[in-house]
Amino acid sequence: MDSTSSRDHDASFTSKRPHFFKIILEDTVREGRIAIPRKFVSKYGSSLSKSLLLRVRRGGA
């Protein structure tokens, strides 16, 4: 069995609400390096709005 998810390779998969998951470390915030992943922008950039909602999970690590 392949260890990668089949949906990762499914070019026909499209989301009505495009989203991504990214782990943000304290250094990333401190250095101002928060950015939308390039691959996400390449795929959905033409339909993205000028603003975004950044949600963070509550709780400890």
More confident: 36 or 8: 36
Q: Are 39 and 23 in contact (CB under 8 A)?
A: no
Query: Is residue 8 scored above 90 in pLDDT?
Result: no
Condensed to tens digits (0 to 9), the pLDDT of residues 25-50 reads 889 889 988 888 899 889 988 888 88
Amino acid present at 1: M
| pLDDT for the residue 1 | 46
Q: How far apart, in whole angstroms, are the C-alpha atoms of residue 41 and residue 36?
A: 7
| pLDDT for the residue 31 | 93
| pLDDT for the residue 13 | 60
Condensed to tens digits (0 to 9), the pLDDT of residues 13-27 reads 666 788 888 888 889
